[in-house]
Each structure stands twice: as structure tokens, then as C-alpha cells.
Amino acid sequence: MFDLDIIMLTNTKDDNIYKMTCKAIESLRKSEETSFNLILIESNKENNYEYKVEHYIKPDIDFNYNSYLNIGSKYCVSDYSAISNNDVVFHSKWWTNLKAAMIKNNLDTASPKSPTKQFGVHDLVEMRHRYTPETKIVEGHYVVYTFCGWFWTMTKDVREWLFPLDEQFSFFYQDNDIIMRLQEKDCKHALVGGSKVSHIGQRSHDILIKNGSYYKHTAGLRNVFEKKYKDRLNEKTPY
């Protein structure tokens, strides 16, 4: 029986991405004695790379972040599930500390802290996140600061009503959309300072730039988000 499902996305276009993803997987295995159900979703369907994971899936559809997560969710079997980038390094006992905080504080969802600087993140928010004390639990649905789209975990109860995710959000604003849905259900989320997962940041964005789809999957989705939540965005929402 697995203690945690982790859905991780990758686009293995070259050896550098492959090595980075392998490092994430290896650090995960070494970080805990816990059994993880790692579900790796691959965007590059033409590659011949292999990974030591429980499920390695190459969907027969073009890249769409939420579509890929929806596919991965079908392989989830644990009481807790997580969404993860592949540009991460897991520290010792990160899950022990995150799970303990979720249980003690009755959290529905939670994110770990990146103790290393994240590339491409607003400096003030990034520093506020990075320098959160290890003893601190910071509640709230604040993008980047407390709710980290690069890694967050949820209870089985949340997973069962949250999925399938809205596939209008093919990349950017999908975490904003999830936050809005969590708030609708009064879910309790927090950043757990004692759980450490290093996040590098934006190591695959150049792939979207080169294939001409960067705007479509990033800033172009703001209008979709604002249209969907036009009746709520007059409220004070942390997006």
C-alpha cells in the first residue's frame, strides 16, 4: 500500500531534462522510507528514455497541464495525493513533516517550503516563502507564497471531488483555478515550513517558446480565468 501518490509531469526533450527528472525521482526515493506511487506523465512522446517509476505514461494528446493531471489522477490509490514539478529536489523527512502538519492542523491541502531560491518568481514573494521559519505553519491560499503550484498535496477526499480539473487551463492559471475551487469548499490550506522541497523553477518554459505555444499556455489564459470568475474577482481573492 502506498502512503502518497505523486503525479509528476515532464517533457524529456534532451539529456539535461532527463537528468533533472532522474534527480527528482532519486531524491524522492532517498528522502523517506515511505512507499510512494509515482505517476510520471510525459509530454515528449517520441523519446526513448526510461524512468524508475510506478507508472510512466505518454498520453496520445498534445500538452495540456490539466488534461495530463486528469489522466494521472486515474492511477491514484492512496489516502494522500500530490502534484509535482520535475524540477525539484526532496529533502529528508519532507513527507513525514508535511503529513504530520496536515493531520495536526486538520489541513485539506498543503505545500512544502523551498529552502533554495526559485528562478522566475517575484523576489519579495519568493523571499517571504523561502524564509518562512521551519516551525511555522502559514495558512491561506496565496499563490507562490503559501500555495505552490510546483508541489502541493491533498487528502483523498479533496482529490475525489476536485478531479477532473478544468482543461481550459492548459498551463498558467491552473493553480489559480484550483485555489478558487478550494475556497468554494472552505478547504484549509497551509505552507509547512518544516517540510522542505527545493524548487529550481522554469526549466522547461523554453520548450513552449521554441514551438510557438508559450503565450497560448501562459499569459493568454488570464482572460479565461477572469471570464470564469468574473462574479468573484471583485472580492479580495489572493490570485
Q: Per-residue confidence at 215, pLDDT binned at 50, 70, 90?
A: very low
Q: Are 93 and 130 in contact (CB under 8 A)?
A: no
pTM of the predicted model as reported, rounded to 2 decimal places: 0.89
**What is the per-residue pLDDT for 207?**
52
pLDDT higher for 35 or 120? 35
Section 81-108 average pLDDT:
98
Do the Cβ atoms of 212 and 130 come closer than 8 Å?
Answer: no
Is 61 within the bounds of a domain?
A: yes
Q: What is the CATH number of the domain that holds 104?
A: 3.90.550.10
Residue 238 maps to a domain:
no
Q: Which helix (H) or strand (E) is 39 found in, with range?
A: strand 36-42
Domain count for the chain? 1
What domain range is 205 assigned to? Answer: 4-228
